[in-house]
A and B are shown apart, each in its own frame.
Chain A
Amino acid sequence: MPVMGRTIRNLRASYSQVPLLGWLCGALIAVTLERFAGTPIALALGLPKIPALFGLDIMLKKPILVPNAILYVFLVYGLPMGATTRSSISLTNRLAGRLFRFPIAITVAVHLALLYTTLHLWAGISDYRALVLKLTLIAVMLTLSLNVINGYMGEFSCSHPGFMALGAYCASVFTVGLFVDDRLFGAVFLPPGLGPFLFPVALILGGFLASFGALFVAIPSFRTRGDYLAIISLAFLFIVKSLIENLEFVRGPRGLSGQPDLADLPTVFLWTVLCVWSINNFVRSTIGKALNAVRDNEMAAGAMTVDTRRTKIVAFLFAAFWAGVAGGLFAHVLRYVNPSTFGIQNLAEVLAMVYFGGLNSVYGSIVGAVSISLLGEALRPLEIFKWIIIPLLLILVMIFRPTGLIAFKDLDVTSLLRPKRKPGGEV
């Protein structure tokens, strides 16, 4: 046993010197390997296909294949990643060090390009992967934007699906009206080739509409807190939902379909990066700190010259904007929206992601959104028991880590990208 403990400690010590660049390169090598040798390896291991989600998806359907899937994941991801990252520690550290001398924007761009290439190759294996990845990235955006209100500002807002619905409908009306021959909005207005260029406009308009809607929650929040604001924001959600249900020009409860296929993986990835970047900067700025002050004690914050009203309005509008953008992307990934999608169930899911991952933390939101999305996919075959297991997990997290898995942690990009070892060799 002590031998094992020492080995693990040694492993941890050696891998802690791997910079992020090293991990990304390792992942890239692993997915490239999967791309070229994935199918033969899977077949050799007795799997019918490359397991789509690390074997999570077949885990419960065919338990007999679980060891095969684990072995596959080990052979294709674990082994190459482990070996290459370990053996190239000095190389990647030197590279990271050299990259680090450039302006930070270039360093970040190189890392993001690597990350995107990895994800692109990974998702290229199967369309199911790509779809799950896109919806997960959208969930990350939603969770992060809700975390601004519920985590950083400490209010309990229930209106997020409402913001998302506003964004989704606004963007859909924009694209369907302009690029699709639809019986509601008439013939094609602009050549569909312009679609990808005007899609950001649609998303931003959706975000602005959601922000406008957020005013109706932000203003009451001046005088109410806690449970009362929760009820007001819940009311807002229902107002949005019944508004859309009664609007005939977006086809009411029948839902709006036929959105052009504009939300491909690069688009969703780019918007997610923008969202993470801007929210991370927002919460680390002066106004972000003001949010925390309002959360901890509104009166004291006011006494310390924090303009609490402005802070609240900005936070609500900002969070709603990103929820609206996420909604617009969501509508174009599914290419169908209907009002009942944006109901209590959706709210419960986003809240679960926020509280599971961790309040007041960008890391936490990413972890929460990714893990709940993947769990949802993995546990689908359990049918009704899925709805017992996920809430149970949430309860356990709440008991043992009351603020979520990774709460109150700043995402500091510089320290994340820094080389982990001096080129000389010493740590």
Chain B
Amino acid sequence: MRKESRFVVCLLVVIMAFSLSGRAQAETIKIGINAPLTGDIPKVGEGTKFAAQMWLEDVKAAGGLAVGKKKYTVELVLEDNESKAESAVKVATKMITEDDVLVMVGPQASKQAIPAGGIANNYKTVMVTPWSTNPDATKGRPYVFRACFLDPFQGPVVANFISTEFKFTKAAVLYDVASDYPKGLAEFFKKAWEGLHGKGSVVAYESFTTKDTDFSSQLTKIINSGAQVLFTPQYYNEVALIVQQAHQLGWKKPIVGSDSWGSAETVKLCGKDCYGAFFSTHYAAAGASGATKAFIDRYKAKHGYVPDDVAALTWDAMLLVQQAIQKTGGLTGDLKKDRENVRTAMSGIKKFKGITGEMTFSGGGDPIKCAVIVKISDAGEFTFYKSVCP
């Protein structure tokens, strides 16, 4: 009996000791960052993380986030989704139900943003995906927003640009049939181009599969088809190979790409071959001014390289979230109500000045924003060429 009572006393003491620690997190706003820190695209995850942390620094420097009359400290809940759909879903569920985040930013790639968006919508929590361009991510989901334009917008932008700039009528497309983004964009481009120049004006529509490295057979077909321009909406590692091989096979006409070219790695891998090429994207790093330049310089000083579009879009997403939270005019402390208020505020954001352009939400989760056409200069920089607005 004495032994047992001693045990109970010990237990009580320990409980008392523990209950003194913790319990000091009254006025915090938690924001979830669902990022692919490991897996296929770790560079994307890194950009997301760095941009979010820079934003947090700013908030901390300002002494917290002022909402209504109160100042709240902000906490980032950063989780790795391993660039896998099921992990993105797990992370989203965990953030929303366990960590009680007010808003979730990310995931970036559409293959994670689509299922995670379903989760966020079910739990009535605002999710902002900075980079996912697939329409399905936000479609029919009032709680899911994005900070970039969509593929159905970008395809026509590129088609119009080529038509007005070069007066070409015959185009070739080379794309990865096994990857979601290039395939979708290639289709939208083809549709827009054929709308402008009639059926059969896309004279070559060639595909390959992810991780292919030899494109000579497709490129030979493209060269023989008499196309005047090559459109290839690929990622940086494939862009380098495609452009170099095209030039080796004697292609001298323009090559145009999409926002997936907008990585610092493109020019590093591709070298002189890519100079003079055009692509559509969210922002141009070289020759930027104002807030955009400030962001680029700060990022470069801190992490040693020019931020790519993911980082810039994440930054914009963080600021969008900040504005939406501040627009609510004050938090009630009831998470459900606050999430609902943030959603209302978010969907009413007009003329938000982001570093990737001005954004307006008019019903639905997709912003109306301009695309930028970038030319790769002879110094290998992404220079602003033209802005195309819807």
Q: Which of B32-65 contact A (CB under 8 A)?
A: 37-39, 42
Chosen A-B contacts, 10 in total, with CB atoms closer than 8 Å, are: A44-B19, A45-B15, A52-B98, A253-B183, A335-B118, A336-B85, A338-B180, A341-B84, A341-B85, A387-B38
**Which residues of B have CB within 8 Å of A65?**
22
A334–B183 CB distance below 8 A: no
Most chain-B Cβ atoms within 10 A of its Cβ — which of A47, A49, A131, A246?
A131
Complex Cα–Cα for A242 and B178 (A): 7
Q: Which of B53-104 contact A (CB under 8 A)?
A: 79-80, 84-87, 89-91, 93-94, 97-98
Knowing A255-B114, A334-B85, the reply to whether A135 touches B15 (Cβ < 8 A) is no
**Which residues of A have CB within 8 Å of B89?**
131, 334
Q: Which 6 residue pairs across A and B have the least CB separation, nearest first?
A: A46-B22, A336-B115, A245-B178, A253-B180, A127-B97, A128-B94
Knowing A253-B179, A254-B180, the reply to whether A46 touches B38 (Cβ < 8 A) is no
Knowing A127-B93, A254-B184, A384-B38, the reply to whether A71 touches B178 (Cβ < 8 A) is no
Q: Which of B174-191 contact A (CB under 8 A)?
A: 177-180, 183-184
**Which residues of A have CB within 8 Å of B85?**
255, 334, 336-338, 341
| Interface size of B as a range | 35 or more
**Which residues of A have CB within 8 Å of B23?**
43, 46
A242–B114 CB distance below 8 A: no
Q: Mark A31-51, 1 if CB is under 8 A from B, else 0.
A: 000000000000111111100
Q: Does B209 lie at the interface of the complex (its beta carbon under 8 Å from any beta carbon of A)? A: yes
B22–A255 CB distance below 8 A: no
CB distance from A214 to the nearest CB of B (A): 23
Q: Which of A1-49 contact B (CB under 8 A)?
A: 43-49
**Which residues of A have CB within 8 Å of B94?**
52, 57, 128
Chain A interfacial residues counted at CB < 8 A: 46
Complex Cα–Cα for A52 and B98 (A): 8
A252–B38 CB distance below 8 A: no
Q: Does A266 lie at the interface of the complex (its beta carbon under 8 Å from any beta carbon of B)? A: no
A381–B80 CB distance below 8 A: yes
A380–B134 CB distance below 8 A: no
B38–A131 CB distance below 8 A: no
B14–A71 CB distance below 8 A: yes
Q: Pick the contact of A253: B25, B91, B177 (CB < 8 A).
A: B177
Knowing A135-B90, A245-B177, the reply to whether A381 touches B15 (Cβ < 8 A) is no
CB distance from B250 to the nearest CB of A (A): 30
Complex Cα–Cα for A340 and B180 (A): 10
Q: Does B164 lie at the interface of the complex (its beta carbon under 8 Å from any beta carbon of A)? A: no
B79–A381 CB distance below 8 A: yes
Q: Which of A45-90 contact B (CB under 8 A)?
A: 45-49, 52, 57, 64-65, 67-68, 71
Question: Considering only CB atoms, which chain A residue lies closest to B14 in the complex?
Answer: A71
B80–A383 CB distance below 8 A: yes
B114–A336 CB distance below 8 A: yes
Q: Pick the contact of A334: B15, B21, B25, B115 (CB < 8 A).
A: B115
Q: Does A264 lie at the interface of the complex (its beta carbon under 8 Å from any beta carbon of B)? A: no
Q: Does B369 lie at the interface of the complex (its beta carbon under 8 Å from any beta carbon of A)? A: no
Complex Cα–Cα for A64 and B209 (A): 48
**Which residues of B have CB within 8 Å of A414?**
none
**Which residues of B have CB within 8 Å of A242?**
178, 209
Complex Cα–Cα for A400 and B80 (A): 31
Q: Does B136 lie at the interface of the complex (its beta carbon under 8 Å from any beta carbon of A)? A: yes
A246–B177 CB distance below 8 A: yes
Complex Cα–Cα for A127 and B125 (A): 14
Q: Does A307 lie at the interface of the complex (its beta carbon under 8 Å from any beta carbon of B)? A: no
Knowing A57-B98, A131-B89, A380-B80, the reply to whether A71 touches B15 (Cβ < 8 A) is yes
Q: Mark A299-317, 1 if CB is under 8 A from B, else 0.
A: 0000000000000000000
Complex Cα–Cα for A327 and B91 (A): 20
CB distance from A387 to the nearest CB of B (A): 6
Complex Cα–Cα for A56 and B87 (A): 16
Q: Which of A367-394 contact B (CB under 8 A)?
A: 377, 380-381, 383-384, 386-387
A45–B19 CB distance below 8 A: yes
**Which residues of A have CB within 8 Å of B39?**
345
**Which residues of B have CB within 8 Å of A126?**
97-98
Q: Which of A244-271 contact B (CB under 8 A)?
A: 245-246, 252-255, 257
| Chain B contact residues, majority secondary structure | helix
Complex Cα–Cα for A44 and B110 (A): 42
A67–B18 CB distance below 8 A: yes
CB distance from B122 to the nearest CB of A (A): 9
Complex Cα–Cα for A50 and B166 (A): 63
Complex Cα–Cα for A49 and B96 (A): 13
Question: Considering only CB atoms, which chain A residue lies closest to B77 in the complex?
Answer: A61
Complex Cα–Cα for A377 and B94 (A): 10
Q: Pick the contact of A128: B37, B90, B114 (CB < 8 A).
A: B90
CB distance from B151 to the nearest CB of A (A): 10
CB distance from B15 to the nearest CB of A (A): 6
Q: Does B343 lie at the interface of the complex (its beta carbon under 8 Å from any beta carbon of A)? A: no
B22–A383 CB distance below 8 A: no
**Which residues of A have CB within 8 Å of B389?**
none
B93–A128 CB distance below 8 A: yes
Knowing A128-B94, A335-B118, A384-B37, the reply to whether A68 touches B177 (Cβ < 8 A) is no
Knowing A127-B97, A340-B111, the reply to whether A46 touches B21 (Cβ < 8 A) is yes
Q: Mark B111-136, 1 if CB is under 8 A from A, else 0.
A: 10011001000010000000000101
**Which residues of B have CB within 8 Å of A245?**
177-178, 209
A48–B25 CB distance below 8 A: yes
**Which residues of A have CB within 8 Å of B180?**
252-255, 338
Complex Cα–Cα for A49 and B114 (A): 29
B97–A68 CB distance below 8 A: no
A46–B111 CB distance below 8 A: no
CB distance from A43 to the nearest CB of B (A): 8
Complex Cα–Cα for A377 and B81 (A): 11
B90–A257 CB distance below 8 A: no
Q: Does A206 lie at the interface of the complex (its beta carbon under 8 Å from any beta carbon of B)? A: no
Q: Does A339 lie at the interface of the complex (its beta carbon under 8 Å from any beta carbon of B)? A: yes
B90–A377 CB distance below 8 A: yes
B183–A254 CB distance below 8 A: yes
Q: Does B20 lie at the interface of the complex (its beta carbon under 8 Å from any beta carbon of A)? A: yes
Q: Does A132 lie at the interface of the complex (its beta carbon under 8 Å from any beta carbon of B)? A: yes
Knowing A128-B94, A255-B180, A257-B118, the reply to whether A380 touches B79 (Cβ < 8 A) is yes
Q: Pick the contact of B98: A49, A254, A330 (CB < 8 A).
A: A49
CB distance from A407 to the nearest CB of B (A): 28
**Which residues of B have CB within 8 Å of A253?**
177-180, 183
Question: Considering only CB atoms, which chain A residue lies closest to B89 in the complex?
Answer: A334
Q: Pick the contact of B90: A44, A132, A241, A330 (CB < 8 A).
A: A132
Complex Cα–Cα for A377 and B15 (A): 28
A257–B98 CB distance below 8 A: no
Complex Cα–Cα for A68 and B21 (A): 10
A339–B183 CB distance below 8 A: no
CB distance from A167 to the nearest CB of B (A): 15
Known: A48-B25, A257-B136, A337-B85. 8 other contacts (CB 8 A): A46-B21, A49-B98, A131-B89, A334-B86, A338-B111, A339-B178, A341-B111, A387-B38
Q: Pick the contact of B134: A128, A254, A339, A377 (CB < 8 A).
A: A254
Knowing A132-B90, A386-B38, the reply to whether A71 touches B177 (Cβ < 8 A) is no
Complex Cα–Cα for A82 and B39 (A): 42
